[in-house]
Amino acid sequence: MRMTAAVLSLLLSAGAQAEDVQALTAEGLALIPPFQQQLLETVKAAMQAGGPLKAVEACQLQAPLIAAEHSRAPWRVGRTSLQVRNPANAADAWEQDVLRQFAQRAAAGEPLAGMQHSAVVAGEVRVMQAIALGEPCLACHGKTLKPELAALLDQRYPQDQARGYELGALRGAFTLRRSLADAGVSQ
């Protein structure tokens, strides 16, 4: 099989782009652990200081600031779910598809720990990593909420859908995005 110079150039370019996207995905995934750790430490500190009511306040006020702090240009970092508490964190169409895939993979027995997905979508590298519901999150997202906590959640989040989870369930995902153009990768 003879390849023309144009075809060979295109194949080499696609291979380079795939390597670039793989490197960008790894770069994005490296932003998740410090973001996750700061969120968890903030919730744990609030729980120790005043229980679940204080944790709700910390999540509402601090989580967006923490996401902004960890969104180091050109990456945008956040969290989303199919059942959000804060409507500002609602999943877009691509994120909804990935979250449904995560749910199917988990239902088929794949562990949520380390479950990831990445793709190039509309000129951006998009990366998601599943979040399993941990012990500190049960007080506010579990099946049994204290009446005063449920009342506070109803007040602060009138459209709250993020209740009724069990330990280890798919809570949502960390979501990251970065423009390929900002990374110097041709599309």
What residue spans define the domains of the chain?
5-183
The tens digit of pLDDT for each residue in 12-49 reads: 334 437 788 889 999 999 999 999 999 999 999 999 99
Average pLDDT over residues 143-151: 93
Q: Say whether pLDDT at 6 is over 50.
A: no
Burial call 51-74: b when 16+ CB within 10 Å, e when fewer: ebbebbebbeebbeebbeebbeee
How is the beta sheet containing 124-132 ordered, strand by strand? 76-80, 170-179, 124-132, 116-121
Q: pLDDT over 70 for what percent of the chain?
A: 89
Both structure tokens of 178: 């970065």
- Beta strands, E only, 18-155: 76-80, 116-121, 124-132
Is residue 132 classed as helix, strand or coil in its secondary structure?
A: strand
The tens digit of pLDDT for each residue in 59-93 reads: 899 999 999 999 978 999 999 999 999 999 999 99
Burial call 146-168: b when 16+ CB within 10 Å, e when fewer: eeebeebbeeebeebebbebeee
The tens digit of pLDDT for each residue in 114-145 reads: 999 999 999 999 999 999 998 888 889 999 99
Is residue 129 classed as helix, strand or coil in its secondary structure?
A: strand
Q: Say whether pLDDT at 9 is over 60.
A: no
Q: Say whether pLDDT at 1 is over 70.
A: no
Note whether 70 and 35 are within 8 A (CB). Answer: yes
Name 110's Cβ contacts closer than 8 Å, sequence gap at least 6. none
Give the other-Cβ count within 10 Å of 75's Cβ.
Answer: 20
Amino acid residing at 7: V
Strand partners, 172: 131
Q: Tell me how long the chain is.
A: 187
Note whether 117 and 98 are within 8 A (CB). Answer: yes
